[in-house]
Structure 1
Amino acid sequence: MSARRTGSFVWGSRVRVWVGTWVCGGMVGLASGAGAVGVAEPSWIDAKVGEIVSVGRGVVKREELGRSLGGRPIHLLTIARGAEGEVRPAVLIVAGIDARHRVGVETALGVAEAWASSPPEWLVGRTVYVVPCLNPDGFVRGGPRADTPRRDEPGDADRDGRTDEDPAEDLNGDGLITMMRVADPGPALRLTPTMVDDPDFPGLMRAPDAAAGERATYAVLIEGLDNDGDGSFNEDGWGGSGGGGIDLDSNFPAHWPEFSDGAGVRPLQAPETLALARWALDRGDIAAVIVYGRHDTVTAIPKAGEMDASRQVPLGIEQDDKALYEAASKRFKEITGIHGAPRPDTNGSFVAWAYAHLGVPAFSTPVWVRPDQVAEDKRPKPAEKPGATREEGDAAPTPRPEPKTDEAKWLRYFEGRSDLPGFVPWRAFDHPQLGPVEIGGFIPGAMMNPPPEEVSSLVDRQSAFVADLAGRLPMIEVEGVGESLAGGLWRVTMRARNAGEWPTLSAIGRKARRNAPTRITIDAPVDRLVSGEKTRIEWSIPGGGHAEARWTLRTEGMGKAVVRVTSPILGTRTVEIPLEDAR
């Protein structure tokens, strides 16, 4: 006759989807919207973080991840409920890498503020880390605004022994650095025409269609002067075609674009990128990463199964992680309505590094896109345009072709939003070196940042996606059973079931091996073990799957068997299995 005793422990908790409400008015002072020219003061970001910590006392903790090159703090917020120091799976949110992407900073602070004021129940079993602005120097830089993601750092892009001597400049005094176009430049100017003015979308510059007999008529340059007299314009300094600092989202080691301007002379050269990488590598609990930035890896997931020349580092994602990404992408589209987004090169980006080197699923979203890239039921209502109604008898507007290029679609969008400046019409200007030119083009950051009134709904949707993602993380349920055998022996069986959707380690996590595998250990002297290894290693327990370990023990005087299940992401939990007949 055998006696059976059981002990059980549920590790983690089910996650309820929660959508926070955030009032956009709380973000007063930030340069919201495409047409805004002002920028936030550095003290504003610090003060906002302080408010969030004060509101979320006991839930939100603030640390300093490091300091920027300019000496500004890089804030890190830890948001969690429950016992302090308890290890549980965490989601890392990073924003403000690209200096132009201000909506990312607004959204990161918005979700943190919402959770601080009304902490959701799912935070009891999860941790959220928020780095709201990795690039404070670039974010708070004063005008004029330029179309550059970088933060300042002296450099000599043209290798003439001088640093930043030929930056871009705001020649017409409108607070913006846009573009200059020169019609049919003569040989003396040493400029080559490469563009035409699109007749279907006047003002939009594009390459000529040789098949249609078009020839290039305009040379297009960044607004500015040839300050160093070398015949090149704005080739060395902030806002120009070269130099002007480091693009932090090109300075991470994953597929680092070594010869690209702005990538730095070495990976992690910038103190901002180095501080984030060091901190993340020291954390074993990060299970997923979300980036609010210029890249998109969630509406259109990266290619699966393609490797670099070493056949080891994925160019996109591992084949075995594809289903995980597809499920996350499907829910993201359902929650946010976003079904398309720009897809710039991710080489050297944080999201690429977080996946390939940190070894966790990593998703990046621009947060806001054009209305035509959003499901119709989730599109914002267009603002009413004063005087837009047509009187009876007025001629109907001349029909125009549908825009096909991304820039043409943006131009059409801004034309329909008289309340939202996004494109500066070309205006004549007498350039001191080039003579007659025109200055105009898209406003820097206009294609990245929404109207202020849309920010609140964007925060709500991103909050909901984070909550949904947190609900997919691994969750281990552990149960142990003891069975009395003959001769004072007991068989102890332990089963660890992953009740979450994600595996305890993803395919890239198993390859990167940054995190240790799950260890199942019985707390018994080796000489008591008749069969079974003292510690069993499980590299990954799939979602819905389980791992099982069995031991046969000599249990005289033990009274109970203690089994520990340990994971860097899930922490350590102990299960005690009564062995009462062994006393």
Structure 2
Amino acid sequence: MPAPLDLRFDHFYGYQELTRALEQLATLAPDRARRHSIGRSPEGRELWMLMVTDFTQGDPERKPAYLIHGNLHAQELSGTTAALFVAHHLVTGDTPELRRLLGEVAFYIVPRINPDGAEYALTTGGAIRSRLVPLPMRNAIRPADVNGDGLILRMRLRCEDGDQRPDRQDPRLMVPREPHDDDGPFYRVFTEGIIEEWDGGEPREASYHKDFNRNWGANWRPEHQQYGAGDFPFSEPELRAVAEFAAAHPNIFGALGFHTGCNAVLRPPATRADDELNARDLAVLRELGRKGEDATGFKLRAVTQYRLDEGRPNRLQGHFTDWAYEHLGIYPFEIELGMLYQSAGITTDQYFASKSDEERREFDRAILRWHDAHPEAGAFVDWLPFEHPQLGRVEIGGLRMSAFANPDPRELPGIAAGCTRFILEHAGRYPHLRIVGVRVDAVGGDIFRIRATVMNTGGFPTYIAETGRDVRANRSPVARLELGDGMEMLSREAGVELGHLGARSGKRDLEWFVKGRGTARLVASSVKAGTAAVEIPVGG
């Protein structure tokens, strides 16, 4: 194996740099990694996928496969870096365990589902969820770099009727105006930009933020019921490309998405209570999730419980975890890699336990203190005066949202290493067919009885989750006895539908009677458990 690449994992990648990194990985080990595009973004960027497996050990589409994706939300750039870390480990690792895994499992890695949004977040530092859609209205603020510093931040306009004021403890932080506060100074705060169709009235925020993690096909709801949902399920071409790839690759048995938020390991459900899940599936999700806790140090939570403690359970319609669990019939996870709160010393439990705006304001002050200790990170830009072409004198500055939404990138190598351990644990449970107990007995003359057992030695059933039993693409495993020249089948049909096989030792005993001498070949195959084959000498 060639020497490992000198890729950086304490770093956020631009599109061109990501493209080169994936090509380098594919060039480094062509028998392990191949880069290809599964689609294009609206702005023409490729949706790169790196397929990692041992290509000398059979067709990857006939192996169980594990899907990894990152950077679905534009600002969550750490997801790309974490996915690259996993890819690098898979491509360059050389342990016997990894060699065996790659011989029998394929990994489909999409480091950046949202290249357009990520490029906007990385280059401007501006606020964006997945995609910004301008809303037509008068006095609409259109995000723009009006002061020429290369960023799109916030601008504050001083006025007596302003609804915000500088925080009394740290005036860099803007906070809501308090009741009966007449002291000031007061401000209106807007996205940095130009006002379209301005008639001198109040500028209006006029961008709709699409949220790609509300656009998956499961439990989708329209925009007026679920903010960010998009026009219809899979209306966004990036997600549609992933869904079409998954539909064409029913061998996917596991999946994980990288996000950034207060760090956590997330599992389904996203829209209902735990007691509405199948009991076996819930037990497996919890058991696997605890492995994730051990590997990452992040607490396991259901998506519905990823919230403030005093808040109501989430109901996130059109969510990835529900889609993968309900539509693909597999066990998906998401890992929230953390954000600047964690780098500033605020734990997820502390944040979720907070009960007041003042508590959470103190967390924001902690971020500013972190910035003061690490100014080279550029997380905050000081408020500086600027003569706006329409509003006159304003001040432009504030947090760079791409910094706020991610942990300190210097922490990413350690975080990604823990995530990789969990992915290897999850992927290592792939269902796996074996043929054992082959026996040939002479019955009389040139008639022989052939017996064999097909079993699943993997950690998951061949249908994976209980929801997978009814998924049309999860066809039952089959076995077929292929006879050599001059041999004749006397009993059952050569092909046999085995029915799904349970985890670890699920099996089906098979028997055929044949006439003639030669070599038979028994092949067993499963959509998600791969293929096993054995040559059987008969009457030799």
> TM-score, normalized by length of structure 1?
0.71
Partner in structure 2 of residue 284 of structure 1: 250
Aligned pairs for 1:517-556 within 5 A:
517-521=476-480, 528-529=491-492, 535-539=496-500, 541-551=501-511, 553-556=512-515
Q: Which runs of 5+ in 2 are unaligned?
A: 308-313, 349-357
Distance (Å, rounded) in 2 between the aligned partners of 1:402 and 1:296:
16
Decide whether the 8 Å contact of 1:526 with 1:534 is kept in 2. Answer: no
Per-residue CA deviation, residues 486-516 of structure 1 (Å, 9 max, x unaligned), is: 8878583524143425664212322433321
Give the deviation of 1:295 after TM superposition: 6.5
Aligned with 1:363 (options 310, 314, 333) = 333
* Counterpart amino acid of residue 355 in structure 1: Y
Give the deviation of 1:220 after TM superposition: 3.9
Query: What secondary structure does 1:99 align onto?
Result: coil
Partner in structure 1 of residue 196 of structure 2: 227
Aligned with 2:136 (options 142, 158, 178) = 158
Pair 26,536 (structure 1): closer, same or farther in 2 beyond 3 Å? closer
Partner in structure 1 of residue 59 of structure 2: 85
Query: What secondary structure does 1:167 align onto?
Result: strand
Pair 507,447 (structure 1): closer, same or farther in 2 beyond 3 Å? farther
Decide whether the 8 Å contact of 1:295 with 1:346 is kept in 2. Answer: no
Distance (Å, rounded) in 1 between the aligned partners of 2:524 and 2:58:
20
Distance (Å, rounded) in 1 between the aligned partners of 2:531 and 2:158:
69
Aligned with 1:94 (options 69, 84, 90) = 69
Aligned pairs for 1:245-256 within 5 A:
246-256=210-220
Partner in structure 2 of residue 67 of structure 1: 40
Pair 509,58 (structure 1): closer, same or farther in 2 beyond 3 Å? same
Query: What secondary structure does 1:106 align onto?
Result: helix
Pair 554,43 (structure 1): closer, same or farther in 2 beyond 3 Å? closer
Per-residue CA deviation, residues 354-383 of structure 1 (Å, 9 max, x unaligned), is: 3332332222223344144779xxxxxxxx
Partner in structure 1 of residue 475 of structure 2: 516
- Figure out how many residues of one structure are paired with residues of the other and give that number: 500
Distance (Å, rounded) in 1 between the aligned partners of 2:192 and 2:115:
25
Distance (Å, rounded) in 1 between the aligned partners of 2:428 and 2:372:
41
Give the deviation of 1:278 after TM superposition: 1.0
Structure 2 residue 123 is the aligned partner of structure 1 residue 123: no
Give the deviation of 1:148 after TM superposition: 0.7
Decide whether the 8 Å contact of 1:207 with 1:216 is kept in 2. Answer: no
Give the deviation of 1:406 after TM superposition: 5.7
Give the deviation of 1:273 after TM superposition: 2.1
Per-residue CA deviation, residues 109-149 of structure 1 (Å, 9 max, x unaligned), is: 23323433345413122211112222222333484331113
Query: What secondary structure does 1:269 align onto?
Result: coil
* Counterpart amino acid of residue 379 in structure 2: G
Decide whether the 8 Å contact of 1:296 with 1:365 is kept in 2. Answer: no
Q: Which runs of 5+ in 1 are unaligned?
A: 1-19, 33-38, 308-313, 376-400
> TM-score, normalized by length of structure 2?
0.76
* Counterpart amino acid of residue 76 in structure 2: H
Distance (Å, rounded) in 2 between the aligned partners of 1:508 and 1:182:
54
Give the deviation of 1:281 after TM superposition: 0.8
Distance (Å, rounded) in 2 between the aligned partners of 1:498 and 1:566:
14
Give the deviation of 1:520 after TM superposition: 4.3
* Counterpart amino acid of residue 138 in structure 1: G
Structure having greater relative contact order (Cα 8 Å, sep ≥ 6): 1
Partner in structure 2 of residue 145 of structure 1: 125
Distance (Å, rounded) in 1 between the aligned partners of 2:184 and 2:507:
68
Give the deviation of 1:573 after TM superposition: 1.9
* Counterpart amino acid of residue 134 in structure 1: I
Structure number with higher strand proportion: 2
Pair 537,235 (structure 1): closer, same or farther in 2 beyond 3 Å? farther
Distance (Å, rounded) in 2 between the aligned partners of 1:24 and 1:575:
42
Give the deviation of 1:477 after TM superposition: 3.4
Query: What secondary structure does 1:149 align onto?
Result: coil
Partner in structure 2 of residue 333 of structure 1: 293
* Counterpart amino acid of residue 49 in structure 1: L
Structure number with higher helix proportion: 2
Aligned with 2:150 (options 175, 187, 192) = 175
Pair 325,75 (structure 1): closer, same or farther in 2 beyond 3 Å? same
